[in-house]
Amino acid sequence: MCPHVNWDQEEQQFKMWYSAGETYEPDAIGYATSPDGIHWQKSLVNPIFTPDPAHGWEQHKVTACQVIKRQNEYVMFYIGFEDTHTARIGIARSPDGITRWERHPDNPIISPTPGGWDSDACYKPFAVWNDRKQKWYLWYNGRSGRPEYVGLATHSGFDLGFRQTCRICPEQRNNSLS
């Protein structure tokens, strides 16, 4: 579920990170590789990323990641669940994208805002690095009951960490975001 696939030009293979574990509600993140995008080999060390009970905000499960290779490391943006409904977004990094994941000390980087449009959950992260502007952009879903909204967090500089800057209100969205 929720696969994120990158093509690794150096290694000439596809790399996939995906949510797995429980049958209907994944609770961990797995990894697989493929030379052609059709035939996949799961990692022998799966799951590669699991909930950390020491961090209450992600004690229930971790899911739906996006992984970006930058310089000599892989950066994972992921959803951590405190319980069945309360979701936050965190960052971790690894030298190989499989092992030795180090969680960011300021996790979670995006949390529900009390009384805000995203007061129930923040999830489905999608990050982009803009080299020209030297800025990270992180879009994510948020909700307070229903409906869902799309939020944007930005961070200047290549290091990790974001700050919430705005949300895309229903009246600002075009129909393609609905």
Coil, strand or helix at 175: helix
Percent of the chain scored above 90 by pLDDT? Answer: 72
Q: By residue range, what is the domain housing residue 8?
A: 4-177
Low-confidence ranges of the chain (pLDDT < 70): 23, 160-178
SS3 of 68-95: EEECCEEEEEEEEECCCCCEEEEEEEEC
The Cα–Cα gap between 128 and 124 comes to: 14
Q: What is the pLDDT of residues 121-138, one digit of tens each?
A: 999 999 999 999 999 999
Please tell me the pTM assigned to this model.
0.86
Is the distance from CB of 29 to CB of 49 less than 8 angstroms? yes
Element housing 142 (H / E): strand 135-143
Position 52 scores a pLDDT of 94
Taking residue 135's Cβ as centre, other Cβ atoms within 10 Å add up to: 14
Give the CATH number, domain containing residue 133.
2.115.10.20
Position 163 scores a pLDDT of 45
Q: What is the pLDDT of residues 37-67, one digit of tens each?
A: 999 999 999 999 999 999 999 999 999 999 9
Domain count of the fold of the chain: 1
Position 42 scores a pLDDT of 97
Tell me the residue type at 24.
Y
